[in-house]
Amino acid sequence: MLQQIVSHTPVYVWAILAFLIVRGVASSRDRVVSYRSLYIMPAVMLVLGLTSIAGRFDGGATVLAAWLAAMAAGTALAWRLSDGQMAGVDRAARTVQLRGSWTPLALMMAVFLGKYVVAAAMGMQPALAHNTDFAMAACALFGLCNGVFNGRLLRCITTYHGAGVAAVPAV
């Protein structure tokens, strides 16, 4: 059964996986990035999360509420549990020096695998689209991961624009 699932997976899905792995491994190393590039992965992961729930599940507001609540929790968690590793900010060049972290790769893989498992499960059992518990669990997973990305981004934005602060925490 697993072989059938993998063999029926469109090629573009493997390209997305490769892109996420490359970006995740790059995030594991210290690096200097432009301020604007801080928004790229949170935006990509937000789109992946939202496309996983949009039009897939019945439940409307309930499912969206689960996603939003989990995203808020993930944002608060990332904001609060920042490990305190700091890197430099060059406001003149609009760049940020980030310390490497494996957390982004883990989160990207969680979103990818969650999206993959949800799609495979719904392909095998279309009735899951009408199962509120399944939909809320999937949406909570996507929301939590999106929230952690957003919490990190918000921490970076706040630090970057903060008065007299010259460091950015890596989550």
Ordered by start, the domain boundaries in the chain are 2-169
Task: Give the phi and the psi of residue 96 in degrees, each rounded to 5.
Answer: -135, 135
What would the 3-class secondary structure string for 12-80 be? HHHHHHHHHHHHHHHHCCCEEEECHHHHHHHHHHHHHHHHHHCCCCCCCHHHHHHHHHHHHHHHHHHHH
CA distance 22 to 8: 24
166: confidence class by pLDDT, cuts 50, 70, 90: very low
Give 27-60 pLDDT, tens digit per residue. Answer: 899 989 898 988 988 898 888 777 777 777 776 7
Q: How many residues does the structure list for the chain?
A: 171
Give 125-156 pLDDT, tens digit per residue. Answer: 989 888 888 989 988 988 998 999 888 888 88
CA distance 136 to 67: 7
